[in-house]
Amino acid sequence: MKSHSVSLDPKHPGATSLVSNHSGVQHPNADRLGPKNVVLALTGGITLASMIAINSYLATYSSPLLASWLAHGVGVVTSLILVVGANLWHRTRLGLTMVAGVPFWAYLGGIPGALTVILAAVTVNSPLGLSGTIALIMAGQVLFGLFSDALGWFGLPKRAIKRGDGAVLLLIALGGVLILFGGHGQ
């Protein structure tokens, strides 16, 4: 049976390659900017917002910690069902084993995930509400993403911060301010 691996790291075997545009010039982000990736990213944003809303609602009946624990328990079961289903559907072996050479910290992504659920459950159930929480989460994600790209954290290829990146962060922050203080409900 075949084993699948996906990587955006250009040094990783099987990583995606550069794609040429119509002029024949290779753009370094061409394979990341396709419509499929944009739709997947937007879908990820919608599912993140719905996860935060649902878990925050659960936290009103229990606690943010219990809501996070239950959300991740359901996530584990869902992931296992998807992996088994994909293995049966594609008749391949999707890796469930630890891969040699992967740094230990790469397996710890569930920690910030659990903290996100807990912190969001607290803030959604505050005067910030869902839209204020999402706006601030998005600003934090972009800010952290800029630093991660610039410093090459987590094995990402380094990418210089540009003036336009600062403008994006400023616009997101201004949008958050409008959501929080824009006079809705008056």
pLDDT digits (tens, 9 = 90+) for 35-59: 888 898 889 889 988 989 999 999 9
Whether residue 95 contacts residue 33, with contact meaning beta carbons closer than 8 Å, is answered with no
Write out pLDDT tens, residues 55-81: 999 999 999 999 999 998 999 999 889
- Output 171 or 9, whichever has higher pLDDT: 171
- Let me know whether 136 and 182 are in one domain: yes
When divided into structural domains, the chain yields a total of: 2
**87 lies in the same domain as 140:** no
The answer to the question of residue 100 being in a domain is yes
CB 55 within 8 Å of CB 75: no
Percentage of the chain lying above the pLDDT 70 cut = 76
Same domain for 104 and 74, yes or no, is yes
Answer whether 0.85 is exceeded by the pTM: no
119 shares a domain with 163: no
Domain limits for position 85:
1-16+27-126
Do residues 154 and 85 both lie within one domain? Answer: no
Residues 6 or more apart in contact with residue 36 via CB below 8 angstroms: none
- Asked if 80 and 131 sit in the same domain, the reply is no
What pLDDT, on a 0 to 100 scale, did the predictor assign at position 149? 92
131 Cβ contact list (under 8 Å, min separation 6): 179
Single residue among 85, 109, 126 that ends a domain in this structure: 126
Does residue 85 form part of some domain? Answer: yes
In order of 76, 93, 101, 104, 160, the CA distances from 79 in angstroms are 5, 15, 23, 21, 35
92: in domain: yes
Same domain, 108 and 58: yes
138 and 186 in a common domain: yes
Instruction: Check whether residue 73 and residue 152 sit in a common domain.
Output: no
The last residue of one of the domains, among 76, 99, 126, is 126
| 123: number of Cβ within 10 Å | 20
118 and 132 housed in the same domain:
no
Kindly report the average pLDDT of the chain as a whole number.
79
